[in-house]
Amino acid sequence: LKGIPEYRLARKSHRPEGSVICIGDTEIGGKELLMIAGPCAVETEEQLFAIAQKVSDLGIKFLRGGAYKPRTSPYKFQGLQEPGLKLLSNVSKEFNLNIVTEVMDISLLDVVYPHTDIIQIGARNMKNYHLLRALGETDKPILLKRGMDATIEEWLLAAEYILLGGNEQVILCERGIRTFDNSNRNTLDLAGVALVKQLTHLPVIVDPSQATGNRNLIEATSLASIAVGGDGLMIEVHNNPEDALSDGPQSMYLKQFERMLPSLQNMATASNRIIDLKTAIQPVQVQEIH
Amino acid sequence: LKGIPEYRLARKSHRPEGSVICIGDTEIGGKELLMIAGPCAVETEEQLFAIAQKVSDLGIKFLRGGAYKPRTSPYKFQGLQEPGLKLLSNVSKEFNLNIVTEVMDISLLDVVYPHTDIIQIGARNMKNYHLLRALGETDKPILLKRGMDATIEEWLLAAEYILLGGNEQVILCERGIRTFDNSNRNTLDLAGVALVKQLTHLPVIVDPSQATGNRNLIEATSLASIAVGGDGLMIEVHNNPEDALSDGPQSMYLKQFERMLPSLQNMATASNRIIDLKTAIQPVQVQEIH
Amino acid sequence: LKGIPEYRLARKSHRPEGSVICIGDTEIGGKELLMIAGPCAVETEEQLFAIAQKVSDLGIKFLRGGAYKPRTSPYKFQGLQEPGLKLLSNVSKEFNLNIVTEVMDISLLDVVYPHTDIIQIGARNMKNYHLLRALGETDKPILLKRGMDATIEEWLLAAEYILLGGNEQVILCERGIRTFDNSNRNTLDLAGVALVKQLTHLPVIVDPSQATGNRNLIEATSLASIAVGGDGLMIEVHNNPEDALSDGPQSMYLKQFERMLPSLQNMATASNRIIDLKTAIQPVQVQEIH
Amino acid sequence: LKGIPEYRLARKSHRPEGSVICIGDTEIGGKELLMIAGPCAVETEEQLFAIAQKVSDLGIKFLRGGAYKPRTSPYKFQGLQEPGLKLLSNVSKEFNLNIVTEVMDISLLDVVYPHTDIIQIGARNMKNYHLLRALGETDKPILLKRGMDATIEEWLLAAEYILLGGNEQVILCERGIRTFDNSNRNTLDLAGVALVKQLTHLPVIVDPSQATGNRNLIEATSLASIAVGGDGLMIEVHNNPEDALSDGPQSMYLKQFERMLPSLQNMATASNRIIDLKTAIQPVQVQEIH
């Protein structure tokens, strides 16, 4: 980042104490880590309720789930769309969960708005400046994923588009960048998280599921995400990953996710943070699940 | 591209003879090369008319110019917007030029539609699937730029979204990908052009201006683009690059552009193609212009 | 990593319990984390002794320092060479430190051998297969840095060259890969560390200094490196970074390094690891040192 | 390339008229294009003679062939080594061909020297500075391939190491860089060739075989390499690519190579260059090969 950065409102010096975004009793960017879990996509009522039940039982307060899915191929499952949104609202009420779901296009903003608590902007849309401007005029928090080809400065300038419109509730989300090495699905840029935390006052969370594409790497990378100073995690879980309509290999088994939580809590403590699961998590007896 | 590609309508075998898209008397994908020139952005009436006059005098039949500009920074010039579209329509009538301009968002499709002959989709929007679907329902040709982080297969799948909607008039445009080396603005992938020409029946043109970011590399890379089998070129020219509101360093001087045309025509002939400039271009006496 | 990997000796299943490499009373790959600190290059006797004194006082048992430096430009400082090696041996005796220094070429192997305890192979030499074969015939531990353009599989195959020669003492070192984003010097691939730990039995350490190029990011990335499961750290420190002949901006101040150690120890404990500094480190009173 | 480049001897202004390197009656960097063809590796006497016979019959004056092969896996064919060198010398005499073969390590320089006319330095060794320095002291021309992760400036600085030693006969060779897109084996950087030709006086040739990894893309990319201003081509050909011990898919059939030559000559003429094949090439009747 040579010279003076072009972002002003997103800059650390604009709010040196850091931004805190409140949803219910969760203070995102505060001491508590934002924990979001759920399926890549809403698939069926049965699937969503099974996952939401477990997530809620574990004390997680934010459920992710895509109703509209950006897919590389037009022949792949594109999401349940409006019926998916309704299912999200239903589980939100049923289990008292906050919803995080994606808006893919300005034309869908009004449709999605009533059904979500955090508006997710996917990596492919980080440079969709018309959409970013429209988000600047909403009053809901925005989860702004980093583009696969975005530099740190471009990411902060994307946030600046939203901030400039008057919406100060921007949460950044690192989810891996595209590099020559496809040993993992993307290359998780945790040093980038350390850097962006120094450059901005906005909260920064990490999505290790998209980054690695591999459920067996989620625990190690989640621990590292907390240790590096990330303000939270967004993790894909599924009641039946083998039959998931998208992103199965990176979706954790519900048991596997549960088993991981105590070590994340332990890491949060070591990092002077908190994972508030309300209910105490009992260490699950370890058995191998592939 | 392992296994069977997921694109079907975009696949070479779907139309082995190749697609030809007709605009006026230009057959894009035929023997004639598509030549598009113009400024990055429409800035003023004076600027646009000066450039259009020259482009038209040279026999070029397609004028590019952005009225809506996707800019990394919200503080940079964002385009003249609707007044810019009107200027494009005016020069189109005045000089009998076909217009190529960008649609950044579905919400702008109806606004831009009457003012353009080819709808340009920028690199940042190649994975904007809602927009691609909407383009499938228009009846105008689409210029689909390759995303900076898009593989060849992802690019063809983006075309597939449009084709699947019923619009068969898709022109692909290589404009450089993002790599570790920023000696040039992007890395022009001409071997990718050779590959994609074997995989698809769609015409493929090249934008060396965006790829190199350097007006002094346009001639060499344009020659190579023709030699590799590209079906045309889109080149940024400006009557006053030093004062351009965007992309000045990659905009050719009008004289420089004129001086280059005979060598491009020569290369077209050697490649069994034609650059139809209607009027004969006289080799310009060479003098150094930086 | 598709299909069956080509490495056999480096493979996890070859030694599922993991490799432990013993140097003195340090068990690399065991519960204790390998801690290496020192300057990028040996510059003067005064410099090396000042750094070694501090490193030794802190209880660090491994000193790094390049006597031969691979430099992009032939006009830059190339290292003190043989006199540098002698200085390393001197401080080794004086402070009872193990030495880690680089061999750039087979022809230097005999020269460097008596002066080092771990033979470092730089990123540029990871694919120097003649050198790797020669290392297979030595009896000293090898620190094999990942190439800037190396996939995980290529890195393990480089280790395989050494193992195949009979030298089982290979320590892998992640130091960042080259990507489009140069916000940091390289892109530290900690998810790659998590993956490679699952694929191999060899110890894997992290060099956050080379990866970030920024001393202010070393603490956060070191914590993350421990959390992700890394087996140690190699960190550049300097008694006077402003005047360093190479890599000044990424070299930590000695005070800054000292101040960081308690948090690393805390993180090690949280990760069920140990940083053995022999002497108790007293938390340094925090004052800003830019 | 910001600021003043660090290379001096490699710089265009050091010899604005361009460097010409003479081998026999070939002036590399002059009007004539350097044409090098041959197998990836020397495999058997029969193979090498069959290929050399054909290459010689076509009027090509430079034969490539590796006797020492840098291979990612230690379990793959590593080259015939000294016997391979002797075979190269034999065909050189038999067919009056100049030899181009790789030196992988300083220790092999004396071994390879008497058997080659151009010393090839592979991409993996572009940053092997000890080797580069040694090459500066030889009196044979060096073919310096660009590293897969090397910027243009790093490539020129590698040349500078050789020039600084007193050897002015450096030929640069672009062979593709490593990027996120593996549709092709590497990403051929022809705009980089255009740029480097402006920055240096050294001749620059292109290896489309390594770049694309696909014999069916060699013709198009070779044409583009000539058009962009490259000073020659290095192309892999094999008498039996299906059974090649390395790089089969990118090796052209001898017939396919022959059939391509007239179009390359035509392109050379259009680019004001010459491909001197001594004997007239008769256009081969086109029939599909596989």
Residues in chain C with CB shorter than 8 Å from the CB of B180 are 178-180, 182
Give how far Cα D239 sits from Cα of B122, D85, D250, Å.
45, 19, 13
Instruction: For residues A102 and A67, give the distance between their C-alpha atoms in angstroms, rounded to a whole number.
Output: 7
- Burial letters B20-44, b for 16+ CB under 10 A, else e: bbebeebebbbebbbbbbbbbbbbe
Query: Quick one: pLDDT at residue A281?
Result: 57
The residues near B278 (Cβ < 8 Å, ≥ 6 apart) are B59
Residues in chain B with CB shorter than 8 Å from the CB of A154 are 72
Instruction: For residues A49 and A38, give the distance between their C-alpha atoms in angstroms, rounded to a whole number.
Output: 10
* D180 contacts A178? CB cut-off 8 A: yes
Find the closest chain D residue to C125 by CA distance: D128
State the helix-helix crossing angle for C190-199 and A218-227, rounded to 10 degrees.
140
Q: Is A263 helix (H, G, I), strand (E, B) or coil?
A: helix
Structure tokens at A43: 């698939």
Instruction: For residues C109 and D155, give the distance between their C-alpha atoms in angstroms, rounded to a whole number.
Output: 26
Does the pLDDT at position B207 exceed 50? yes
Instruction: For residues C202 and C207, give the distance between their C-alpha atoms in angstroms, rounded to a whole number.
Output: 16
What's the mean pLDDT in D188-216?
Answer: 98
How near does any CA of chain C get to the CA of B21, in Å? 35
The residues near C269 (Cβ < 8 Å, ≥ 6 apart) are A270
* A184 contacts C188? CB cut-off 8 A: no
* A228 contacts C191? CB cut-off 8 A: no
DSSP lists the bridge partners of residue D204 as D172
Structure tokens at B144: 């689909």
Neighbours of chain A (3+ CB pairs under 8 A): B, C, D
CA B41 from chain centre, in angstroms, equals 13
Structure tokens at D49: 């003679």
Burial of residue A237 (CB within 10 Å: 0-12, 13-18, 19+) is buried
* A183 contacts C1? CB cut-off 8 A: yes
List, in sequence order, every beta strand (DSSP E) within chain A. Answer: 21-23, 26-28, 34-38, 62-64, 98-102, 118-121, 142-145, 170-174, 204-206, 232-238, 252-253
Query: Quick one: pLDDT at residue D5?
Result: 76
Query: Quick one: pLDDT at residue C5?
Result: 76
Q: pLDDT tens-digit profile of B61-100?
A: 999 999 999 999 999 999 999 999 999 999 999 999 999 9
| Residue A5: band (very low, low, confident or very high) from pLDDT cuts 50, 70, 90 | confident
Give how far Cα A116 sits from Cα of A39, A41, A107, A143, D286, Å.
15, 14, 16, 12, 62
- Tokens 């256009």 label which residue? D283
Of the candidates D150, D191, D227, which has its C-beta nearest B212's C-beta? D191
Of the candidates D182, D220, D227, which has its C-beta nearest B194's C-beta? D220
| Residue D20: band (very low, low, confident or very high) from pLDDT cuts 50, 70, 90 | very high
Q: pLDDT tens-digit profile of A54-88?
A: 999 999 999 999 999 999 999 999 999 999 999 99
| Residue D150: band (very low, low, confident or very high) from pLDDT cuts 50, 70, 90 | very high
Does the pLDDT at position D287 exceed 60? no
Residues in chain A with CB shorter than 8 Å from the CB of B125 are 128
The residues near A259 (Cβ < 8 Å, ≥ 6 apart) are A283, A284, A286
Q: pLDDT tens-digit profile of A207-262?
A: 999 999 999 999 999 999 999 999 999 999 999 999 999 989 999 999 999 999 99
How near does any CA of chain D get to the CA of A195, in Å? 23
How near does any CA of chain B get to the CA of C147, in Å? 14
Residues in chain A with CB shorter than 8 Å from the CB of B105 are 105-106, 128, 130-131
Nearest 5°: the CA angle A160, A162, A168 is 95
Residues in chain D with CB shorter than 8 Å from the CB of B152 are 181, 183
How near does any CA of chain C get to the CA of D236, in Å? 22
DSSP of B124-135: GGTT-HHHHHHH
Structure tokens at D142: 């060096």
DSSP of C249-284: GGSEEHHHHHHHHHHHHHHHHHTT-B---SSPPPPP
Find the closest chain C residue to B181 by CA distance: C180
Instruction: For residues B36 and B39, give the distance between their C-alpha atoms in angstroms, rounded to a whole number.
Output: 10
How near does any CA of chain A get to the CA of B147, in Å? 9
Instruction: For residues A131 and A153, give the distance between their C-alpha atoms in angstroms, rounded to a whole number.
Output: 19
DSSP lists the bridge partners of residue D99 as D63
Cβ–Cβ under 8 Å, residues A18 and A31: no
Residues in chain D with CB shorter than 8 Å from the CB of B179 are 177, 179-180, 187
* C75 contacts D127? CB cut-off 8 A: no
* A106 contacts B107? CB cut-off 8 A: yes
What's the mean pLDDT in A168-191?
Answer: 98
What's the mean pLDDT in C235-242?
Answer: 97
Residues in chain B with CB shorter than 8 Å from the CB of C179 are 180
Cβ–Cβ under 8 Å, residues B149 and B180: no
Instruction: For residues B120 and B118, give the distance between their C-alpha atoms in angstroms, rounded to a whole number.
Output: 6
Of the candidates C105, C149, C161, which has its C-beta nearest D130's C-beta? C105
How near does any CA of chain C get to the CA of D129, in Å? 7
List, in sequence order, every beta strand (DSSP E) within D197-250. Answer: 204-206, 232-238
What is the CB neighbour count within 10 angstroms for residue C116?
A: 23
Query: Quick one: pLDDT at residue C285?
Result: 52
* D221 contacts B228? CB cut-off 8 A: yes
Nearest to B120 by CA among B67, B156, B77, B46: B67
Find the closest chain D residue to C165 by CA distance: D74
CA C163 from chain centre, in angstroms, equals 19
Choose the mutation target among A7, A182, A195, A199 for the interface with C, i.e. most C CBs under 10 Å.
A195
**What's the complex ipTM?**
0.95
DSSP of A17-37: T---EEETTEEETSSBPEEEE
What is the CB neighbour count within 10 angstroms for residue B182?
A: 16
**Largest distance between two CA atoms of chain D:** 53
Instruction: For residues C127 and C113, give the distance between their C-alpha atoms in angstroms, rounded to a whole number.
Output: 21
Residues in chain B with CB shorter than 8 Å from the CB of A71 are 129
Neighbours of chain B (3+ CB pairs under 8 A): A, C, D
What's the mean pLDDT in D212-231?
Answer: 98
Find the closest chain C residue to B177 by CA distance: C180
* C104 contacts D6? CB cut-off 8 A: no
Residues in chain A with CB shorter than 8 Å from the CB of B106 are 105-107
Find the closest chain A residue to B103 by CA distance: A130
Decide which of D5 and B274 is more confident.
Answer: B274
List, in sequence order, every beta strand (DSSP E) within chain D. Answer: 21-23, 26-28, 34-38, 62-64, 98-102, 118-121, 142-145, 170-174, 204-206, 232-238, 252-253
Query: Quick one: pLDDT at residue B289?
Result: 44
Query: Quick one: pLDDT at residue D289?
Result: 45
Instruction: For residues A283 and A277, give the distance between their C-alpha atoms in angstroms, rounded to a whole number.
Output: 13
* A178 contacts D178? CB cut-off 8 A: no
How near does any CA of chain B get to the CA of D209, in Å? 11
Query: Quick one: pLDDT at residue C286?
Result: 47
Chain A to chain B Cβ contacts (< 8 Å): 71
- First-to-last alpha carbon distance for chain C, in angstroms, is 42
* B72 contacts A154? CB cut-off 8 A: yes
Instruction: For residues A166 and B102, give the distance between their C-alpha atoms in angstroms, rounded to a whole number.
Output: 27
- Tokens 């620190």 label which residue? C143
Instruction: For residues D86 and D91, give the distance between their C-alpha atoms in angstroms, rounded to a whole number.
Output: 9
Neighbours of chain D (3+ CB pairs under 8 A): A, B, C
Specify whether the backbone of C261 is left (phi greater than 0), alpha (psi in -120 to 50) or beta.
alpha
Instruction: For residues C217 and C15, give the distance between their C-alpha atoms in angstroms, rounded to a whole number.
Output: 35
H-assigned helices in D58-199: 82-95, 109-112, 129-135, 152-164, 190-199
How near does any CA of chain D get to the CA of C218, in Å? 25
State the helix-helix crossing angle for B218-227 and D190-199, rounded to 10 degrees.
140
* D128 contacts C125? CB cut-off 8 A: yes
Cβ–Cβ under 8 Å, residues B115 and B99: yes
Q: pLDDT tens-digit profile of A83-126?
A: 999 999 999 999 999 999 999 999 999 999 999 999 999 999 99
The chain-wide mean pLDDT, for chain A, equals 95
Cβ–Cβ under 8 Å, residues A108 and A135: no
The chain-wide mean pLDDT, for chain D, equals 95
Nearest to A275 by CA among A63, A100, A118, A59: A59
Using an 8 Å CB-CB cutoff, list residues of chain B that contact chain A: 6-7, 70-75, 104-108, 124-125, 127-131, 133, 147-149, 154, 157, 160-161, 164, 178
Query: Quick one: pLDDT at residue C127?
Result: 97
Find the closest chain C residue to B178 by CA distance: C180
pTM strictly above 0.80:
yes
Residues in chain B with CB shorter than 8 Å from the CB of D153 are 183
How near does any CA of chain C get to the CA of B36, in Å? 29
Structure tokens at A105: 């296009």
Instruction: For residues A90 and C56, give the distance between their C-alpha atoms in angstroms, rounded to a whole number.
Output: 62
Least confident of B218-222, C150-154, D56-60, D286-290: D286-290
Of the candidates D70, D130, D164, which has its C-beta nearest C107's C-beta? D130
* C184 contacts A191? CB cut-off 8 A: yes
Instruction: For residues B238 and B39, give the distance between their C-alpha atoms in angstroms, rounded to a whole number.
Output: 5
* A176 contacts C177? CB cut-off 8 A: no
Q: Which helix (H) or strand (E) holds C38?
A: strand C34-38
Does the pLDDT at position B253 exceed 60? yes
- Tokens 């390393």 label which residue? C88
The residues near D76 (Cβ < 8 Å, ≥ 6 apart) are D246
Query: Quick one: pLDDT at residue A290?
Result: 44
Burial of residue D128 (CB within 10 Å: 0-12, 13-18, 19+) is buried
Instruction: For residues C50 and C95, give the distance between their C-alpha atoms in angstroms, rounded to a whole number.
Output: 11
What's the mean pLDDT in B141-148?
Answer: 98
Residues in chain D with CB shorter than 8 Å from the CB of C127 are 70, 72, 124
How near does any CA of chain D get to the CA of B50, in Å? 30
Query: Quick one: pLDDT at residue B219?
Result: 98
pLDDT above 90: percentage of residues in chain A: 92
